[in-house]
Structures are given as structure tokens and as C-alpha cells.
Amino acid sequence: MIQKPKGTYDVNGEKGRKILYLEKLLAALMENYHYQYVRTPLFESSELFHRGVGETTDIVSKETYDFIDRGNRNMTLRPEGTAGVVRSYIENKMYGDVIQPVKTWYYGPMYRYERPQSGRFREFYQFGVEVFGTNDPLMDAEVISIPVNFYRLLGLKGIKVNINSLGDQESRLRYREALIEYFKPHLESLCNDCKERFLKNPLRILDCKVDSEKEIMKHAPKMQDYLNEESKQHFEKVKEYLEAMQIEYSVNPNLVRGLDYYTYTVFEVEASVEGFGSQNVLCGGGRYNHLVETIGGPSTPGVGFAMGMERLLTALEFENINPVEENVLDAYIVPLSEEVKKEALSLTNALRLSGFTVEIDTLNRSMKSNFKTSERMHARYVIIIGEDEVKENILTVKENQTKEEYKVALADIIDFLDQTMIHDECDCEECDGTCHHEK
């Protein structure tokens, strides 16, 4: 039997409904924030990720899926979304758009060759936003508010933001020199990856998972001590704006994120999920004011974040949060013979076009089996169509819960179901069973 590749997974059933619901909720939230949807190719030139993500990152050095195409070009399955969106921003000259800043969002599969574990796969789905054209710290705060508000909407508890500032280029250069000076006498005690990062990008040493608990890491210089005045003011404003939105945050001086392009604000959002352990970080991002320029575009400030769908689903599962309602059918239609199937299908089509969720029997089951099937599908009504119903244009409608039976004129069936849906959603105290108030 052929099986799925290691580090991938299939989606079906209830999990599929959850994912579709989360995707719709994200799209609706982006409408509220007035961000525009962008989509980029699944594979791009390898050079894009080497220049954009960074040569010293684990993603580029260890985890990319690289291949040579039939035109002898070096290609890479995208390991993250930002570099591709930046390339699209430059190639489509979005920096010349009348409306600025350019606020975008994306969603789709990414690929990294890493060890599969809980909430982490080789093919994974990522949602993210990228904003270009403004260095205002207000935009940093707005971007941070998106995942915070999304997680709150889903009912996750203890949402907290960890933030830090990496400062501008001048501040980063000063900090880089301080780290080199500090780690130089201790180089032999560091892991091989950190030794390689030492001169290329010493900030990445602080992000090391192998050496993170060593005493030397705990006493390393802090970025905050090397920020210039402009960088300090930017960071203070970000914190003020988060407070204005009542978003809880903590300053984490060791937070640097795993990508080379960040400047100024970096952040991670976590939730207090019992038993979640190290997986409690649900998303991360920050500002990257020189990435557009690095990839070949004009000097343009940018800020964004990304979050993985798989980790979010795991968090919801741990918290026993089911974001989707029970899968309920409005009507289950039963044609009693081959001769009435055309009329039954016509009615099914009309009801679906009117916004109802409808299923029709195609297995020629017995009435007893059809009623059992309708109950398994949580159908509210069973609509029976036989030769008498077709001849008289009167439908037999049975309510599954109460077992009551109604005779409804074919011309009135949509109104009948409409009124039922309105009554089901009514929450007024005076409701006597005939109420037609809408919520």
C-alpha cells in the first residue's frame, strides 16, 4: 500500500471542517483590518530564500527542499511566506500603488525538511501578514494585535505577547561587536552551529536550542543596552500602543527570532495551554526594514508575522475548544421511487440555492434505513417525495426531533424552512413557538 510521505498528513471529516472554519474566520478578520490577499508560487528561485531568509538560518542551511528543474535552474519549495511576498511586492511594483502602506495577507502550504513532531510537519500550512511602506510603531502594534484578537475570538486563554527590540542597523552593529567580544573566550564551549554563527551572525547564538541553558548564555549582553535613542523611542511607542489596546506583553531581552532579516520590534504570541509545554508559542514575527532592499527593491520598511495552522489545531485540541458547530443538515430528501427522482433532485437543487444544507438519498435505501441515516446526519427535517406528493404538489415533511409530520405545499416549502430557521435562532423570552423574530 502506498502511504503518505513522512512529515505530512491527510485532512478529512471533522478536522477538515475545523480548518475550513478557521480559514474563513481569518479571511473575515483580514477584511475587518482592510488587508489584501496575496498568493505566491509554491516554489521560487533558491537565491530568493538564501538572500531573503538568510544563509545562517537553520531553514536555509538545513531544512529547504531544493531541486534543479529541467531548465537547469536551482529551485526551492518555499519554507516560509515572507520572502515570496517581498519578491511579489517588488516585481509587481506595489511600492508605486496609490494607497500606502501596502497591507497584505497570505495562507498556504510551506515545506521544511525537519524532524516531524507534535504540531510540526514537513508540509505545513502558514497564515501570515506583511505590511510595507511605514515605519510607524503603530503598525507594529496593529500587526501584533491580529493574532492576539484571532486567538481571543477562538476562546484561547492566557494570550500573552513576548516582545523585544533589535534596534536599527547602527544599534545592531554595536550589539554584534559586543556579542563577538563576549563569546570569543567561550567559543569552545558552544555547539558547532553556534561556532559557525559566531562571525556570520552572532545574534543567532542567542536563539540556540542546544546551548540555551548554559550559564554563558544567561549572562550574555542584552540588546536593550545597545539601542540608540531612536530605537528606544520606537520600542517605547510600540509598548504604549499595545497598552492602549489592552494587550498584555512582557519584554524578553533574549528574544531574537530565527531569521536574519529582523530589525526593531520582534515578537512571539503564546497561550496558556495546559500540557502544551514548549509548543505554547503559537506565532511570531517582527519588523524588517531592509529586507525589500536586500532582495532588490527600493528601501522600504516592512513588518509582519506568521503562524502555523497545525500548532493552532493542537492548542485548540488541548483546550477542548471546538470552533465549529455540530454538522447539521436542514433537510434530508427521500425519493420513494425511480420515477420521482427528477422532482426530488429539482427540489434539492432549489433548496441548496436558497441557502439550505440539503442531502438526498442516492442509495435507494428503505424508509427505515433513510430515517436512521437522517438521524446520523443530524437532519432537522426529512422530506419524502412519492408519486402522490408529485401528483398533488404536496410534500410530506417529518421533523426528526419531535417526530411530527406536516403536509407542506411544494410552493411553500422554502417559506416553511425559512420560518423554522428563524424560530430556531430566536432567543426572545416571549417566544411561544410561533415567534418569527430574528436574532
Compute the distance between CA of residue 150 and CA of residue 32 in angstroms, rounded to an integer: 12
* CATH number of the domain enclosing 361: 3.40.50.800
Residue 209 lies in a domain: no
The verdict on 134 and 232 lying in the same domain is yes
Tell how far CA 308 is from the center of its chain.
Answer: 6
End residue of a domain, out of 297, 318, 339: 318
The verdict on 308 and 386 lying in the same domain is no
Cβ neighbors of 205 (< 8 A, separation 6 or more) are: 179, 183, 190, 194, 197, 198, 211, 217, 220
The C-alpha cell 442509495 sits at 363
The verdict on 287 and 334 lying in the same domain is no
The verdict on 141 and 162 lying in the same domain is yes
pLDDT in tens, the chain (439 residues): 999 999 999 999 999 999 999 999 999 999 999 999 999 999 999 999 887 676 656 667 678 899 999 999 999 999 999 999 999 999 999 999 999 999 999 999 999 998 877 768 999 999 999 999 999 999 999 999 999 999 999 999 889 999 999 998 888 888 888 888 887 787 777 787 777 777 777 777 777 667 666 777 777 888 888 899 999 999 999 999 999 999 999 998 878 765 667 889 999 999 888 777 655 889 999 999 999 999 999 999 999 999 999 999 988 998 889 988 878 899 999 999 999 999 999 999 999 999 999 999 999 999 999 999 999 999 999 999 999 999 999 999 999 989 999 999 999 999 999 887 755 555 555 554 444 334 3
CA-based angle 73:77:79, to the nearest 5? 135
Amino acid identity, position 41: P
The verdict on 346 and 299 lying in the same domain is no
Read off φ and ψ for residue 126, nearest 5 degrees. Answer: -130, 135
How many domains would you assign to the chain?
Answer: 2
Residue 354 near residue 188 (C-beta atoms within 8 A): no
Compute the distance between CA of residue 117 and CA of residue 127 in angstroms, rounded to an integer: 20
Sequence-ordered strand ranges (E) for 309-377:
329-335, 358-360
* CATH number of the domain enclosing 115: 3.30.930.10
* Beta carbons within 10 angstroms of residue 308's beta carbon: 19
Between the alpha carbon of residue 434 and those of residues 407, 423, 424, 427, the distances in Å are 17, 7, 11, 13
Look up the pTM and report it: 0.85
